[in-house]
A and B are shown apart, each in its own frame.
Chain A
Amino acid sequence: MALRTRIAVTFLLLLAAVLAAALGAVSATNRANAEREVQRQLDVGVSVFSRLLESNRRQLTQAAQAVAADYGFREAVATRDTDTLVSVLENSGERIGAAMVVLTSLNGDVIATSGLHIKAGTPFPLSAEQRSGMTGDNATSLMVDNGRIYQLVTVSVRSPLPVAWIAMGFELDEKAARELAGITGLAVTLSVNSGGHWTDVVSTVPAGGVRQSDIVTRRIEMSRWGNAEVVAILSRSLADARAPFERLTKMLYLIAAISLFAFALAAFWLARNITRPLQDLTQAVDQIRGGAYDVTLNVERRDELGVLAEGLQLMQTAVQSRDQSIRRLAYEDSLTGVMNRTAFGAALSQALAGADGAPIAVAVINLDRFRRINEHLGYSVGDAVLTKMAARLAAVPSVNSAVARLAADQFAAFARLQGAQYLQAWGTSLIMALADPVFVEAQPIDITATLGLALATEDTASADEVMRCADLALEHARREKRALAIYEEALKPAARDQLSLLGELRRAVEHDELRLFFQPKVELKTGRVTGAEVLLRWQHPTRGLLYPVDFIPFAEKTGFIRRLTRWTLDHAIAQGARWQSQGLALGLAVNISADDIADLRLDSRIASLLTRHQLPPQLLTVEITESGFIEDPTRALRMLDAISALGVCLSIDDFGTGYSSLSHLASMPVDEVKIDRSFVQGLESDPEFAPVVRSAIDMGHGLGLKVVAEGIETEAAADRLRAFGCDVGQGYLYAKPMPLAVFETWLAGRERVPVVAVPVDFQTEDLSDTVTLALY
């Protein structure tokens, strides 16, 4: 039921109940009042009636006494002359208005009568007292004669002793009854019981008599006359008594009906007044829920509904603003204000759909070495740089274009080109836009960017695909160390392979497709081989030998790197143990990635492997890049401590390129540092590098660490490093990474043959880049 109806009906029912109760009470009271009133009137009536009769009797008695005392009358009585007596009686009766007069002897024999059908000589029914002669006057009685009722007074006639009785009768006729009725306010009926049969002799009750059901009566026994019994019946009609109350009740019913009607109108109006705004509000809420935030609410009302409407209004505004900020968060890069990846994808999809054959170009832009800006100049500077770069990209004039920030230092852009031939030009314009130094706090910062370009063709219809093509182009540009690369079909198969790479990697582990390559580490002073760095290769069944760059970054992204690291550790330690058993105490260095450091069970794994293969821990070196403990230095440090506690050596890879502070380094349980190959190679081309390398070596020694140089390609470099006091060298000058058999052969030959230079293969090994965290 609707609220409106419920409110109205509830109040109506309540009012109806109250009215019904009130009317019921009034009706009942009225009824009781009417009856009580009737009873009271009857009580009063009986009393009044008796008094009236008594008063009547007294008057009649006085009149009769006056007659009886009249000397002439007495004289006539004394004469005993019947005719005279009768005439005297008539005369006397007329004088006082008696309907009949009877003269009897003292013992009750009728002497003479007037107006009565009793013969002289018949006994007159005197009362016992009268007959005994004890008391004469004052006795009153009723007499029935010939169907008439007489009120009878009897007085004695004295001459001077009582000699006779004179009885005078006054008829209680219709007129008398009406008088009585008028005085008492009641209907008067005189009824005679003659031989068991009641006859209403006189009655002021209209047709129907006193025996109707709604008539209340009182019987007054008046007298007996022989066998005739006379009663007076006073009566009152209940209906008559109730009439005024009935009128009142009817009026009340009318008032109740009117008030119910008025109340119903008022209740419905009120309920409507409440529920209509509620309906409006409900409708408004529905609209707001549907996402419409421009709903106008009536907040004019001063009552609670007005407050509610106002609240809804405020809520609408709040929801709208929150909705907008959520959209911003969802589709906008909060730092730079350009699109995020999601929004970019959507926008690109839309552009592709509406391209109509026009070429859509997509660029993925990576800011080179951006991390260093963050680390050296602070994040706020980094953020400022990003913001400015985003603005510059967005400012490049293109048709139907969009710019997005995909990751920390990676941006993307797409544009509708006039033709495919303009792709290179567009890409160049993007690079140019980023080329100028960025001024942050009046400080110029040089930023270079690497760009991957892809053109949406019919084959690369989806936004995702175009994006990945651009990604592949970017990867390619990095590998080629070019500022810009355009995606081409040739890059595609490799890209395709990425999809199944994970499955293939699993299979590689399971089917023993992985190989360990070893690159020797040579003590620079003596030329003695102290150990080898273990590097991973994948003997792919169809694509031949794959280098770490082909699958390690992927493994690191997918988390599969731990599996690979476990495999590598297992086999490397096993090999070390084999050499140990052959009398070769060769140290083995295994690269560990940042994700491995985050593995809480890494130390226990290493411990169990050492135990299982019976390799002395000092023969194992774990190489980590400085970036390996950037994310969570505290946790990384704990892990390094644990590993160091096993007796395993720890080595910092790429020393010098990193960003860890010296204090950091000092607090770490490190045994050696590996100077980055860029320093070593720079040593040959740029004489200014020498002091840097030297101080790096000195710093390592100052910290009590062994210093290893990698990427040694020439004797000259080896000589300089040796001169600087570098402890161990590693590089193509000695040997490139070799399979086990080749390494062992090389090792055996080294026993006899002096070290000679071997050809350098940059294509396969020297791919150090910021993308990879570790090299294998």
Chain B
Amino acid sequence: MNAPHLHRPLAALVLGLLAAQADGGAVTVNVTTPTGAAAGDAVVVFYPLDAAPAATRDSAVIDQINKKFVPRVSVVRTGTAITFPNSDRIRHQVYSFSAAKTFSLKLYAGSPKTPVTFDQPGLVVLGCNIHDNMIAFVGVVDSPYFAKTADTGIASLNLPPGRYRLRAWHPNAVAAPPSRDITVASAPLDIPLAIDVDATSTTVAAWLE
């Protein structure tokens, strides 16, 4: 049951990487805290400054396992349809009062029939009405070039050559790092990035806008 859900984002990632290898440079972003610790679950987005590729209708999955949204942090391109399967034996409700996408799924078990399409860029915070601690973040961005750092704080992607504006976000960021313009050529690019993260903060960093 779980396997198809897991494969889809992986497939998207693999497709991205293959594309970078085909005609662009491999870009690695190493996100750390100011103390040098790796910052996982950080979102890095490259906004092309030259020409934006056409929108696609992507899809994604946010599962609910052990009263947790998995993954907790997701990044999707505007227009992506996300399905919210419920892998728990208990029912869950999913809602969002975020401006980018306001919706709610009534208490349900199993997989809902229709996915939710995130058609506006912005941050959408998801919650379960009956489980206050179930929180997930969905970053909806108008760019196909984005990645999420692994626990090592490293995110790698292939970008077509060109100029990009790099922006980063982390749910626990105390302050957003300044955007940075970079130029991608064929040569691989290593970009170190520092984000001030406070794990104890309950507020969420402002979205990229």
Could you list which residues of chain A lie within 8 angstroms of chain B, going by C-beta atoms?
A: 69, 71, 74-75, 77-78, 106, 133-134, 158-163
Contact = CB atoms under 8 A, between A and B. Distances in A.
B102 A160 contact: no
Given A75-B97, A78-B102, A159-B97, A133 B132 contact: no
Contacts of B128: 160
A162 B127 contact: no
B204 A161 contact: yes
B129 A161 contact: no
Contacts of A75: 97
A71 B107 CA distance: 13
B97 A78 contact: yes
Contacts of A161: 125, 127, 135, 202-204
B132 A158 contact: yes
Contacts of A69: 132
A162 B97 contact: no
18 contacts: A71-B95, A71-B129, A74-B97, A77-B97, A106-B203, A133-B201, A133-B202, A158-B127, A159-B125, A159-B127, A160-B95, A160-B125, A160-B126, A160-B128, A160-B134, A160-B135, A162-B203, A163-B97
B2 to A, nearest CB: 24
B41 to A, nearest CB: 15
Q: Which among B127, B134, B200 has the highest number of chain A CB atoms within 10 Å?
A: B127
Contacts of A133: 201-203
A156 to B, nearest CB: 9
A134 B200 CA distance: 8
A133 B134 CA distance: 19
Interface of B: 95, 97, 102, 125-129, 132, 134-135, 200-204
Nearest to B128: A160
Given A75-B97, A78-B97, A78-B102, A162 B129 contact: no
B125 A162 contact: no
Nearest to A162: B202
Nearest to B135: A160
A158 B203 CA distance: 11
Contacts of A159: 97, 125, 127
Main secondary structure of the interface of A (DSSP, over half): mixed
A134 B202 CA distance: 7
B3 to A, nearest CB: 29
A85 B129 CA distance: 20
B201 A160 contact: no
B127 A160 contact: yes
Nearest to B126: A160
Contacts of B201: 133
A194 B97 CA distance: 42
Given A75-B97, A158-B132, A161-B135, 4 more contacts: A74-B97, A77-B97, A106-B203, A159-B97
A729 to B, nearest CB: 179
Contacts of A158: 127, 132
Contacts of B204: 161
A159 B134 CA distance: 11
Contacts of B135: 160-161
Residue of A71, A74, A161, A162 ringed by the most chain B CB atoms within 10 A: A161
Nearest to A77: B97
A159 B124 CA distance: 11
Contacts of B126: 160
Contacts of B129: 71
B132 A160 contact: yes
B200 to A, nearest CB: 8
Smallest CB-CB A-B distances: 9 pairs = A160-B127, A78-B97, A159-B97, A133-B203, A160-B135, A71-B129, A161-B204, A161-B125, A133-B202
Contacts of B97: 74-75, 77-78, 159, 163
B89 to A, nearest CB: 22
A71 B201 CA distance: 24
B196 to A, nearest CB: 16
A158 B125 CA distance: 11
Contacts of A162: 202-203
A159 B127 CA distance: 7
A380 B204 CA distance: 158
A163 B203 CA distance: 8
Contacts of A77: 97
A134 B201 CA distance: 7
Contacts of B132: 69, 158, 160
B119 to A, nearest CB: 19
Contacts of B125: 159-161
A143 to B, nearest CB: 24
Nearest to B127: A160
A159 to B, nearest CB: 4
B53 to A, nearest CB: 32
